[in-house]
Structure 1
Amino acid sequence: MQRSQKIEFLSLCESEEEVAMEAILADYVRSSVRQFMHANAIFHCERLCAEFPSEVNQQLLASCYLQNNQAYCAYHILKGTQMAQSRYLFALSCFKMDLLREAEAALCPANEPSSEVPNGAAGHFLLGLVYRYTDRKISAIHHFKQALSLDPLLWSAYEELCVLGAAEDAAAVFGETAAICIQNQYLHHASVLQNSQAFEEDHSVTSSKDNSADDVSPRQLKQLLSNNVREASGNCQGMAVSARSAVQPPNGGSTHLSLYTTPSPITTQYLCAAPPPLHRNALPNVSNTNSIAADSSPRSTVNSTIQAPRRKFVDEGKLRKISGRLFSDSGPRRSTRLAAEASANTGSNATSTAGNGPNNPSKYLGNSKFSSAALRSVTLRKVSNWTNENFDDGMKNEVIDGCRPIIVSGALPSGDPKALDQETTMLSGVAPNTSKLLSCAGEILGLLRLFGEGYRLSCIYKCQDALEAYSKLPHKHYNTGWVLSQVGKAYFELVDYLEADRAFGLARRVSPYSLEGMDIYSTVLYHLKEDMKLSYLAQELISTDRLAPQSWCAMGNCYSLQKDHETALKNFRRAVQLDSKFAYAHTLCGHEYVALDEFDNGIKSYQTALRIDSRHYKSLYGLGMVYLRQEKFEFAEHHFRLAFHINPCSSIIMSYLGTALHALKRSNEALEMMERAISADRKNPLPMYQKANILVSLECFEKALEVLEELKEYAPRESSIYALMGIIYKRCNMHDKAMLHFGLALDLKPSATDVATIKVTVLPFIMELGTDMKYVLMHVMEI
């Protein structure tokens, strides 16, 4: 052999080993991430980047750091990178670090205003979040709608639209157009996979004719290696296609595929919480049971924080030959063997049945190479079972990879040849019946329509309608933690605290690990003055997750109920420190500042909450109350009216808006607003009492007494009602009834302010009485 040929041969062997080594390391990193061993994944990924420096491997390392909640590491690794997927991961890192301007620049470069947002629907969703938190509502709405148009199952985008008050009816968003979009996406994927498999099997047949396991020309290998980056960055724009790794993973490997699942990019913020629920829209990629899920598209809509696009080193047939001395399985693909052996055994049914029995799976599987262990490693599922009632049974062996697409595992059919044919068809990459697929997509979207309509109505505070929408959900979906928490929030907005307590209590029993809505639940218990339940809830939440703002909000409410406002404020500020974008925590801080008479700090907290969420009406209500106490009635009326436009169904906001109008001497408008508040909630005593006050100021004493007599039925132990009736009787010169109602008011132990008001009102009247009667009454009333 000549010297040049020897050199070329040695360089070829080195290239082969490098390709195999890179594939093994990359596969092992992803395997560690799937098993939540993030430190191990980071260590090996650093080795991968040191040995094979490339931007694609940097993406994988950044993804590991993001999974380990180390966004600052991913930020420095990806700073200055140019690939679309790198820009998306860099923007995600910036968003987690609250560097919103840099995140926007990464997603929409200033020098390329017409460039496409990377990573499809997930990229548009992240950009929408950036615009939302930089107070650009119109742009945020546009990108959330873009995300939904690209991925109709992107529920997080619809949630954000609901929060911004810009969501369309759920029937329009999750309708026929969405179903067709899902069908087209799946068919496109099926076509790509089928073509890829056809090429792969053709090449496998060609290469099997050659007896040499290492017969790859240097020119071919160099050409393949030189196209690595181009293939990774340009393959299948806008669609997620799994790149096939030819190296079999040590644990047998499983196939992953996410066709149109785009989880929220920020769902990995709370890694201490329980894993997210299983996605019904995750479909198995069963064309290669030994391949590793690796997204080769930089514009993929899968969750990029876990699965970065992987470069396609060489095609599967060649890499199998290269790694032949490392792995013993160099024969035909499992799907090919399965189809061949199934067809071979069709003609020998009688013999197989006699040997194995009618219910033995080996009746259709042929020889002993298909052991039970091999069966367990085959990942497949019938398309017809995606939405049936037994879906949960087929998901028992699924692996949850954080927010990553899940592995859908199942057993091979054992008794029906048609079933085996269907599975074999799925293994060969052929798309299922389009009408069946459209029906399945319609079922999923029908469920989302119910969820979406209920959530949309809740966000525009039509809470009674929202409760009716949630009641239409199937029983198994209604009795889940998320839905019951939404029901509790709806009752909270309706000021029905007892029902809210019941709904949240059920949610805690169903999902004791979930913190969804627990900040509102603690406020419900605060209003009910359930100090023991509130204390127990706060301790449970702290023990569940000390780094969740909801836990510290519950603790703050617990101290606030005990009138320890300084300690409560410390807890609320801790919640703000943990999540600066948690608007409700800022509002609760404002309430405590006001309770401590620190009005300036209270106003700052309310305004911060409004910068985070311009529709957070509770902060507008807080500002109105501050200005009302400061007797700045114009400002109070302005903020109460803004809150009323956001939540036109709240009788409390209407009551205080009417009070501000009355203070501005606009009594007719105030009376009209009080009537609306009474109609909105007959059980709320506040608007009826304020209406009586307004009538007294207008000297309509008879009407005021009628209102107060009716009010006594709703609040029979409210001292202020009897005090106001005493004032009315005094002004009508009905002294005996006046003294009777003043005495009743004092017997009900009113607040110190009400006591002072009553005494100031009663004292001049007592001084007009005779000497003996005067001293007796003054002694009884402790004047």
Structure 2
Amino acid sequence: MEAILTDCVQNSLRHFMFGNAIFLCERLCAESPTEVNLQLLAACYLQNNQAYSAYCILKGKQTAQSRYLFAISCFQMDLLNEAETALCPAHEPGGEIPNGAAGHYLLGLIYRYTDRTKNAIHHFRLALSIDPLLWAAYEELCVLGAAEDAAVVFGEAAALCIQKQYLHHGIASPNVHTSNEDYNLVSSQNFGSEEVSPRQLKHTQGNNLRDIPGSYRGAAVLSGVAPPPLCRNMQPNGSNLNTVNTDGSPRSVVNSTIQAPRRKFVDEGKFRKISGRLFSDSGPRRSTRLGRDAGANINANISTVAGNGTNGSSKYLGSSKLSSVALRTVTVRKGLSWVNENIEEGIRNEAFDDSRANMASMTSSSFPSGDVRSLDQDGATVPVGGIFFSGSKVISGASEVLGLLRSLGEGYRLSCLYRCQDALDTYLRLPHRHYNTSWVLSQVGKAHFELVDYLEADRAFSLARRVTPYSLEGMDIYSTVLYHLKEDMKLSYLAQELTSTDRLAPQSWCAVGNCYSLQKDHETALKIFKRAVQLNSRFAYAHTLCGHEYVSLADFENGIKSYQNALRIDSRHYNAWYGIGMIFLRQEKFEFSEHHFGMAFQINPRSSVIMSYLGTALHALKKSEDAIKIMNRAILADRKNPLPMYQKANILMSLEKFDDALEVLEELKEHAPRESSVYALMGKIYKRQNMHEKAMLHFGIALDLKPSATDVAIIKAAIEKLHVPDELEDNL
């Protein structure tokens, strides 16, 4: 009876019938309440997104597998202290972490979210050393800015580790013909062969989704699945099958759910009207977002400020855009071929064929040739996923996998270090079939986004949507791209598509919030962004967007709190540092402003906008020479960004270097011929030089360019005081 119930439970899990699995497993536990059966019941609840049930079942259990499952339950319920205690019991200091690489990865996540970065890095590296194919651990190291070169992580040491895990153990027992799961299903219950059910025999030939036996993997794995989602109540987008071994061996589960009916958050009829509202014209946006409205003005007194950037998810740290057409015309770089529009054929332009043709040959040296020869001579076979391969094929396959991870990993590492052009070049070396996937195309879009290539970012994200319209990867950033491009209709359509795909994903609500924010409905946008935070409290970008909306509503106190919440989740979320710096700059707390801009600059030293505002804060602190140096760096970093040139001219004017300031402004006029702020500043300089006719001419041109109402008042006041001595008037 027990064997049949166990087999039925696992079969139900294999077919994603979690309710049936829970019911039958409860019968199993009633019949035989062993800890192994309780683990199986907890696994059923976890896969049904009922972490609280698994928590109650496993609380107080001491076996390694029970502690690991309990830690996952605690993690999903945001009980991080209990999760840590389960993995590292106080009475066992220095004890072994359950489930090997997966356990270290989970512990690393716990340390990361409890602000113990060094410990987190240590455990992520341990996880990678145990299982070199645990990509999620390398991703976390990249996000923390602590990843080594992918060529090192996925190099010879990783090859030897994989060889040890697959080959040495496989050769030692080449006649094993049953998968680990089904072997444990039969043997761990101490049943004789006569008690094996027909269903058990049916599944003994590796009929599992990812059945890499634990005995061939060295360290325990999460059945090929990364640890659980980072949100207590968030529904996963998909389900991965996984079962718990009945002998308590270190195998674990992933949250797999059948999504329940979703409660409406915004009235559907009202939401469909968004697109109709999105065509209304609006004035210049005045909020702390980098990558500003095309008509936004830059004033010496920082009357308007610009928006934000991203770290995995956040608004772009772009310049204050003086003219989106004249200044931010984005061209396709030479040599950067894009995916052909015919996605169905999946064919890319062939400009990079030569560099991508032989992916496997790049990595063939990873494995010692002597091992390959000995395996070929011996004719050894190795079980992988219930299927037997020759040792040489396993080595060749692992070499190809590591080569692929090297390219993907290096590109992702460079992106996290904001070396975006280098990252793009790395991604271009990928084979076509991998480049044309949503994850890679989304990373390409993010890289162009950081480089202020909004049009290229739009193209990349659009291609990603066409390849996999169900994927939400990078869609929060895509909505920000459309926000900056002021693509009202496309943004509205994207928001509706995302919410229809998954209403419980924070990316969907970030897109909806950007729709309202673009229409200057900041109160509604704030409510929407709070909904995204509610769905996933560890989604740093949603906190940052809340901060932007608070600043737009002049609620600086809550704005700072939102930015700080983002930094608690990700200390390298540089646009949150930038957002706090902008608030302090507006409040004229220049020392605090300099500190926060400096922190953002340390994380992203290639952002022209961060350098521009850091220079502004330095100038306000009377550190004009340092300010000039940082402005020069900002100009070199992005010559299309007019903001640092404008600020440099402003600083030179304050130093009474009028000719140098006019020279900079004349150059700036070529980039921004219709920006009123440039002409207004030139008029002020001519006034300081007592050249009243030229001053009046430039003030008049500034007014003709239809500046904002605030700037109109300032310019008219300057005209009225044209003959007033400079020492009495310095407000423009």
User: Would the TM-score normalized by the shorter structure come out above 0.5?
Assistant: yes
The answer as to 2:83 corresponding to 1:125 is: no
Partner of 2:207: 255
Partner of 1:742: 699
How far off is 1:423 after superposition? 13
Q: TM-score w.r.t. structure 2 length?
A: 0.75
Distance 1:225 1:166 in 2: 41
Partner of 1:179: 159
Residues 66-107 of structure 1: per-residue CA shift (max 9 Å, x gap): 111111111111111111111000000000000000000000
Correspondent of 1:264 among 209, 226, 231 = 226
Q: Which amino acid aligns with 1:539?
A: Q
Residues 222-251 of structure 1: per-residue CA shift (max 9 Å, x gap): xx999957x89xxxxxxxxxx999323289
Partner of 1:317: none
Correspondent of 2:410 among 442, 446, 453 = 453
The answer as to 2:246 corresponding to 1:246 is: no
Identity %: 69
How far off is 1:710 after superposition? 1.3
Correspondent of 1:655 among 600, 612, 616 = 612
Distance 1:63 1:594 in 2: 45
Residues 398-449 of structure 1: per-residue CA shift (max 9 Å, x gap): xxxxxxxxxxxxxxxxxxxxxxxx9999799996443332222111100000
How far off is 1:503 after superposition? 0.9
Distance 1:667 1:47 in 2: 77
Q: TM-score w.r.t. structure 1 length?
A: 0.71
Correspondent of 1:475 among 425, 432, 448 = 432
Distance 1:267 1:107 in 2: 18
Superposition CA RMSD, Å: 3.1
Residues 137-169 of structure 1: per-residue CA shift (max 9 Å, x gap): 111011101110111100000000001111000
Distance 1:268 1:585 in 2: 14
Distance 1:172 1:426, change over 3 A: closer
Partner of 2:559: 602
SS of the aligned residue for 1:581 comes to: coil
Partner of 1:300: 250
How far off is 1:765 after superposition? 2.4
Q: What is the 5 A alignment of 1:48-63? A: 48-63=28-43
How far off is 1:502 after superposition? 1.2
Distance 1:429 1:41 in 2: 24
Distance 1:197 1:451 in 2: 34
Correspondent of 1:582 among 516, 526, 539 = 539
Distance 1:596 1:263, change over 3 A: same
SS of the aligned residue for 1:249 comes to: helix
Distance 1:251 1:659 in 2: 74
Partner of 1:434: 391
Residues 749-769 of structure 1: per-residue CA shift (max 9 Å, x gap): 21222112111111122899x
Distance 1:648 1:429, change over 3 A: closer
Distance 2:245 2:425 in 1: 42
Q: Which amino acid aligns with 2:237?
A: A
Q: What is the 5 A alignment of 1:281-360? A: 295=245, 298=248, 300=250, 303=253
Question: 1:162, 1:459 within 8 Å by CA — same for their partners in 2?
Answer: yes
Distance 2:501 2:702 in 1: 46
Distance 2:470 2:385 in 1: 41
How far off is 1:719 after superposition? 1.4
Question: 1:262, 1:303 within 8 Å by CA — same for their partners in 2?
Answer: no
Q: What is the 5 A alignment of 1:230-629? A: 246-249=196-199, 252-253=202-203, 254-256=206-208, 257-259=211-213, 260=217, 262-267=224-229, 271=235, 273-274=237-238, 295=245, 298=248, 300=250, 303=253, 432-629=389-586
Residues 610-653 of structure 1: per-residue CA shift (max 9 Å, x gap): 11111110100000000000000000000000110000011110
Distance 2:30 2:249 in 1: 26
5+ residue gaps, structure 2, are: 218-222, 257-356, 361-378, 726-732
Question: 2:48, 2:255 within 8 Å by CA — same for their partners in 1?
Answer: no
Distance 2:649 2:419 in 1: 28
Distance 1:614 1:60, change over 3 A: same
Partner of 1:114: 94
Distance 2:254 2:538 in 1: 23
How far off is 1:537 after superposition? 1.0
Q: Which amino acid aligns with 1:246?
A: V
Residues 513-535 of structure 1: per-residue CA shift (max 9 Å, x gap): 11111111111111111121111
SS of the aligned residue for 1:765 comes to: coil
Question: 1:187, 1:431 within 8 Å by CA — same for their partners in 2?
Answer: no
How far off is 1:739 after superposition? 2.2
Partner of 2:709: 752
Distance 1:190 1:138, change over 3 A: same
Distance 2:691 2:249 in 1: 81
Distance 1:113 1:765 in 2: 77
How far off is 1:598 after superposition? 0.7
How far off is 1:24 after superposition? 1.6
Question: 1:183, 1:434 within 8 Å by CA — same for their partners in 2?
Answer: no
- Which structure has the higher relative contact order (CA within 8 Å, separation 6+)? 2
Partner of 1:730: 687
Residues 565-595 of structure 1: per-residue CA shift (max 9 Å, x gap): 1101001111111111111111111111111
Question: 1:128, 1:144 within 8 Å by CA — same for their partners in 2?
Answer: yes
The answer as to 2:76 corresponding to 1:96 is: yes
Question: 2:185, 2:246 within 8 Å by CA — same for their partners in 1?
Answer: no
Question: 1:122, 1:262 within 8 Å by CA — same for their partners in 2?
Answer: no
Q: Which amino acid aligns with 1:59?
A: Q
Correspondent of 2:45 among 47, 50, 65 = 65
Distance 1:679 1:64, change over 3 A: same
Question: 1:461, 1:647 within 8 Å by CA — same for their partners in 2?
Answer: yes
Distance 1:540 1:244 in 2: 55
5+ residue gaps, structure 1, are: 1-20, 201-223, 233-242, 279-291, 307-387, 392-421, 769-783
Distance 1:94 1:152, change over 3 A: same
Distance 1:596 1:440 in 2: 56
How far off is 1:54 after superposition? 1.1
Residues 664-694 of structure 1: per-residue CA shift (max 9 Å, x gap): 1111100000000000011111101111111
How many pairs were matched up? 587
SS of the aligned residue for 2:503 comes to: coil
How far off is 1:724 after superposition? 1.0
Higher mean displacement: 537-546 or 243-252: 243-252
Partner of 1:675: 632
Q: Which amino acid aligns with 1:265?
A: P
How far off is 1:560 after superposition? 0.8
Distance 1:119 1:305, change over 3 A: farther
Q: What is the 5 A alignment of 1:693-704? A: 693-704=650-661
The answer as to 2:102 corresponding to 1:150 is: no
Q: Which amino acid aligns with 2:583?
A: V
The answer as to 2:603 corresponding to 1:646 is: yes
How far off is 1:733 after superposition? 2.6
Distance 1:725 1:549 in 2: 46
Partner of 1:85: 65
Higher mean displacement: 735-744 or 158-167: 735-744
Correspondent of 1:190 among 170, 192, 214 = 170
**Structure having the larger proportion of residues in helix:** 1
Rg larger for: 1
Higher mean displacement: 481-490 or 433-442: 433-442
Question: 2:108, 2:120 within 8 Å by CA — same for their partners in 1?
Answer: yes
Partner of 1:204: none
